[in-house]
């Protein structure tokens, strides 16, 4: 077994206990076409280990700190609706003494 394969097994075991971003379980792994889309958008191939993490374990939600983000443009947190910006009131200028 290669070093990467051993690492993937260890990460998979730890990731199985993770509840990312309030979800009941990890997102499903991505398919090869999703990796290809991400690589095309980035303009370079993902490192093999990183691609394998997305392909075999899940589409983000595990790892150090807040974990890996989803591979493509999908938000890991609940999206909120945008509001119109509140117009700023001009400041009143005071006369200098």
Q: Residue 52 domain-assigned?
A: yes
Read off the pTM.
0.70
What domain range includes position 48?
3-56
The 10 Å Cβ neighbour count of residue 53 is 26
17-66 pLDDT, tens digit per residue, is 877 777 788 889 999 999 999 999 999 999 999 999 999 999 988 888 77
Which residue did the predictor score with more confidence, 75 or 95?
Answer: 95
**Number of structural domains the chain divides into:** 1
Q: Residue 9 domain-assigned?
A: yes
Q: Residue 28 domain-assigned?
A: yes
CB burial of 67-87 (b: ≥16 within 10 Å; e: otherwise) equals bbebbeeeebeeeeeeeeeee
Q: Residue 71 domain-assigned?
A: no
């Amino acid at each position: 077994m290669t070093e990467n394969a051993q690492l993937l097994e260890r990460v998979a075991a730890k990731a199985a206990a993770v509840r990312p971003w309030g979800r009941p379980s990890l997102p499903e792994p991505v398919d090869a076409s999703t990796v290809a889309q991400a690589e095309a958008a980035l303009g370079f191939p993902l490192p093999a280990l990183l691609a394998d993490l997305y392909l075999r374990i899940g589409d983000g939600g595990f790892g150090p700190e807040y974990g890996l983000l989803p591979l493509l443009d999908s938000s890991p947190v609940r999206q909120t609706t945008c509001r119109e910006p509140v117009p700023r009131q001009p400041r009143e200028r005071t006369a200098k003494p």
